[in-house]
Structure 1
Amino acid sequence: MGFQDMDYVLSRSARTLTYRIGEFVHVCAMYLGIAVLVTIAACVVVPSMRAQFNQLYTGLVQTLRPEAVKYDAYSQAVWPADKTQPALSEDGEDLNQTEQQQAVSTYQGFMKNLRASVTGQPIAGVTAAQQQALRSYLARKYKIAYSVAGALIHTAFIVGREKNLDPQLILAVIAIESRYNPYAESHVGAQGLMQVMTKVHKEKFDIYMEGTLAVLSPEANIRVGGQILSDCIRRRGSIEGGLACYVGATGPSDGGYGAKVLAERRRIALASGIPVRAR
């Protein structure tokens, strides 16, 4: 093969290679352009679709949610944003205090205490070690979630402070009455953690928008049960007499109920290291 033929072959090969490379670059540029266009379209369309889906989801949830829980901790609170301002009715008139209280959902209170438990908020007068020991004891013995045990402890201490009751007495009553099952129900219709009779104490649930259904909420049940226990102790003049009243004993014997509650309170106090209050 002569030099001219060789130059021709090399030149032709170079042109072919250049053409292939150009074609490859052209195809890459085309696909890159398509990708850019798709990305731009996605950035414009997806947020709009996401907003539409969120609106659709919210509408379905509000429509299908049962009436009794439409104002729980996951939805908008019914209290005014500024609690210093009066709530207004639909015709613009001020709601009185009782009507405002009726707008309260018991699930908001318990969720607040559950958040306090999860975030490790302290309890006044109780060390962190005592609080942890008490939570561990209740969670382990009664097979409940550690965070829920903490929420119930927070609730018991809040109610105990409000009603001048030993919080560990409240926790002991819960242990004997329901073993920490918020959905427990006796053969006579007593319900919830502290086995409250809604037929007898119906008016005590008037402050809750759920009415007597709030008995199945831990927060409302402990509040109402604590009020009943406090009234019983005040009426009978002692914790022992109050416990007999609480269980409905009319005679001299309560069937050992009071002894069981006080024994459990001693075990709770021993496990937590928190001193037992006189009342």
Structure 2
Amino acid sequence: MPDASDMTPAWRRLATSAHHHLSELVRTCAVYLGIAMLVAAGIIVALPSLRGQAVQVHSALLTAMAPDAVLAQADANNDLTGDPSARASGAAMPGVRNFLSAIGTAPPAKALSATGASREQVEALRGYISRKYRVAYEATGVLVNTAYLVGHDLELDPILLLAVIAIESRYNPFAESHVGAQGLMQVMTSVHQEKFEQFGGGDGVALNPVANIRVGGQILRDCIKRRGSMQGGLACYVGATGPSDGGYGAKVQAERRRLALAAGVPLRRE
């Protein structure tokens, strides 16, 4: 039987091997940690630039798809911003930011007064939509402003329109279902093609955010009038013919309440 002195080299080799492996592990962890820190630093530096680019791309898409009639109206009188000097001068407003300034800054006073909302509340509403649905904040102005204008023109609650958009498309203007429903409010283009004629018609017009909200709003208003209530109108809008709408109305109403609560906007009774 070997004595303790014969086993000492084996323990030493084991300790040396363990030390070597531990050193390699520490070195590997340090390398990966350094790479992670470099990546994190790069993201921090690049993120504001990437966000700015995303806003510009989204804004450019909204502008490119804006109906000629809407652009002409904005260029002619800038009546959505409430800027008297712009109306008096009649100056043209070329470019993405000028269009968004005219169409998307804030709803006009007449639309706000009809709902009892303030501009601060509308700004809070835009912030909620931007955060929850990951929409560029600047682009939310076009969507919220259009919802208020359409709501005023059609005597509909704009928060209801925004809630329908949330449930139907999650604010994706290019959404399309397997049955052919398109755009923000998932309008069945093949059924309602004639309603898009005022926006030029043609392929892809239903993906135009402004046109889609206006046509979807018309359909929703007609559904509410036909069924006699908001709940019945929502069931009609989703195509339910029986007593059950599959929970669609409850989802829209829940999101409507969340939108109003987040912004402190009063809800209208329909």
> Do they superpose with TM above 0.5?
yes
Measure how far apart 1:70 and its partner are.
Answer: 10
Q: Secondary structure at the match of 1:255?
A: coil
CA distance in 1, matches of 2:216, 2:245: 18
The aligned residue for residue 127 of structure 1 is: 118
Distance in 1 between residues matched to 2:173 and 2:253, nearest whole Å: 21
Choose 1 or 2 for highest CA Rg: 1
Which of these residues, 237, 250, 254, is aligned with residue 245 of structure 2?
254
Tell me the equivalent position of 2:197: 206
Equivalence for 2:228: 237
Distance 1:236 1:156 in 2: 22
Report the counterpart of residue 144 of structure 1 in structure 2: 135
Task: Specify whether residues 72 and 239 from structure 1 end up closer, same or farther in structure 2 by C-alpha distance, changes over 3 A only.
Answer: closer
Retained in 2: the 8 A contact 1:172–1:262?
yes
Aligned to 1:226: 217
Which position in structure 2 is the counterpart of 1:104?
Answer: none
1:154-193 equivalences in 2 (<5 Å): 154-193=145-184
- Is the 1:194–1:222 Cα contact (8 Å) retained in structure 2? yes
Deviation of the 1:131 alpha carbon? 1.4
Alpha carbons 2:172, 2:183 under 8 Å: kept: yes
Aligned to 1:114: 100
CA 1:78–1:275 in structure 2 vs 1: closer, same or farther (change >3 Å)? closer
The 8 Å contact of residues 104 and 145 in structure 2, kept in 1 or not, is answered as: no
Q: Within 1, Cα distance between the matches of 2:252 and 2:224? A: 14
Q: Tell me, which stretches of 5 or more residues in structure 1 are unaligned?
A: 1-68, 83-107
Cα distance in 1, alignment partners of residues 65 and 173 from structure 2: 20
The letter of the residue matching 2:262 is A
Residue by residue over 1:210-246, the C-alpha shift from the partner in whole angstroms, topping out at 9 and shown as x without a partner, is: 4352110100000000000000000000000000000
Question: d(CA) in 2 for partners of 1:235 and 1:112?
Answer: 40
CA distance in 1, matches of 2:130, 2:98: 19
Does the aligned pair in 1 maintain the 2:175–2:182 contact within 8 Å? yes
**C-alpha contact (below 8 Å) 1:244/1:257 kept by paired residues:** yes
Higher helix share: 2
The equivalent residue for 1:196 is 187
* C-alpha distance 159-112 of structure 1, shift in aligned 2 (>3 A): farther
Point out 4+ residue stretches in structure 1 off by more than 2 angstroms.
69-73, 76-79, 110-114, 116-126, 210-213
> Which secondary structure state, in structure 1, belongs to the residue aligned with residue 188 of structure 2?
coil
Structure 2 stretches of 5 or more lacking a match? Answer: 1-63, 78-93
Q: Distance in 2 between matches of 1:154 and 1:78?
A: 15
Return the TM-score normalized by structure 1: 0.59
Q: Is the 8 A contact 1:168 1:268 kept in 2?
A: yes
- Contact map agreement 2:185 2:213 (CA 8 A) in 1: yes
Alignment of 1:215 with 2:215, yes or no, is no
RMSD over aligned CA atoms reads 3.0
